[in-house]
Amino acid sequence: MDKYNIVFIKTEWGEKELLGRRAEDYVIREFYDFAAKKCRIAKQSAYKEENAILDGYVNVVLTLDMPLVKKEDVESLVCEMRRKNISTIRLGAKNSPSKICIGKGIDEGVFSARPAFLKIGDAKSYNIVYNLLKDRILDGLLDNGVYIVDKTTTFIDDTVNVEKGVTIKPYCTIEGESAILGESTIFASHIRNSVIDGADVSHSHVVCSKVHKRATVGPYARLRHAVIDEGCRVGDFVEVKASRLRDGVKCAHLSYVGDAEVGERTNVGCGTVFCNYDGHEKHKTTVGAECFLGANTNLIAPVVVGDHAFIAAGTTVTRDVADGSFTIGRVRQDTKPKTD
């Protein structure tokens, strides 16, 4: 069995992020459990080939800006070298220290143009590697039973967890530590560090949030640090920030819910604003279960609205509202006839 000596060389491009990880993280993760007798990481400025290459070993020197390389790529190349009696193969780029050599190597070697050993060294090579890596991630998800309609317009970080049965429609970007679970459907949305669990999200921006089963979000909604419970409806041009909507809440359009908790099956009317900022501090609003907030309601925090309360359209709420009460706070309409 071959004895491997692996030397990784840190480079500036190895710290470049691609699809959720630095380029060097892909390489180190891939070789974490590789059965190498010796393995070390060297700074580019400190690397000396005469000290790195060991006699009696298969020496693998890789710069950490080659995130596509796999263990099997190295092993198959070593087999090919033995079959063709080649002692040295150079990798990555013609001026790169990356190489595989059997023992000390007795010749200058040949160059391998395999895509797995592509090295990031400029904007163009970054683009090529990025798109090859993107396809690899998406192909892995397709193999696991994720329905991806259009690979060309879908971007999913390597750090994202997508379960079997999820549907990803065109124009989606899913980043960070996100998880798309159950039978969720995502269409034309940007999702970062969020959990979508059996919900539908369309044309929306979701950050650091959780959306539960049978909820629908969008089109054109924005969630920030929000929790959307089961069966909720967050519609077009609604923003929910640092708030929780309990089961069955409907907030269909043109509303802002900030620093709030809204109880089960409450209806938030069009144009409702949770006024959470007084110019100095943010304050919380609590709305009970099965309330009706009429269109164009303003809730001036801090304020509590009890269960089963009814707030008439156009009302500005500045004081707490008791359970089951009716609140109206608008100027009575006064219509006068036209005079010449």
pLDDT band at 108 (very low <50, low <70, confident <90, very high): low
The residue-averaged pLDDT of 83-95 equals 85
Domain boundaries, the chain: 4-117, 199-327
Give catalytic status of residue 253 as yes or no: yes
Considering only residues 305 and 52, tell me which one the structure prediction assigns the higher pLDDT: 305
- Write the DSSP string, 259-270: SEEE-TT-EE-T
**Measuring CA to CA, which residue among 97, 94, 113, 93 is closest to residue 105?**
97
Q: 219: cis peptide before it, omega within 30°?
A: yes
Give the homologous superfamily in CATH for domain 199-327: Hexapeptide repeat proteins (2.160.10.10)
Mean pLDDT of the chain: 93
% of the chain beyond a pLDDT of 90: 76
| pTM summary value | 0.91
Per-residue confidence (pLDDT) for residue 146, from 0 to 100: 98
pLDDT at 301: 97
The residue-averaged pLDDT of 158-167 equals 98
pLDDT at residue 3, rounded to an integer = 86
Confidence of residue 1 (pLDDT cuts 50, 70, 90): low
Greater confidence (42 vs 17) lies with 17
The span from the CA of 45 to the CA of 65, in Å, is: 15
Choosing from 190, 205, 212, 253, which is the catalytic residue?
A: 253
Task: Note the pLDDT of residue 50.
Answer: 79
Q: What's the whole-number mean pLDDT along residues 36-43?
A: 77
The CATH-assigned architecture of domain 4-117 is Alpha-Beta Complex (3.90)
Q: How confident is the model at residue 276 (pLDDT cuts 50, 70, 90)?
A: very high
Residue 85: predicted pLDDT: 87
85-103 mean pLDDT: 86
Strand extents, DSSP E, 94-204 = 99-102, 110-111, 147-148, 154-156, 161-162, 167-168, 172-175, 179-181, 185-187, 190-192, 195-197, 200-202
From the CB of residue 328, how many other CB atoms can be counted at a distance below 10 Å? 12
Quick one: pLDDT band at residue 335, thresholds 50, 70, 90?
Answer: confident
* pLDDT > 70 in the chain, percent: 97
pLDDT at 125 over 70: yes
Average of per-residue pLDDT across 176-190: 97
Give me the pLDDT at residue 167, please: 98
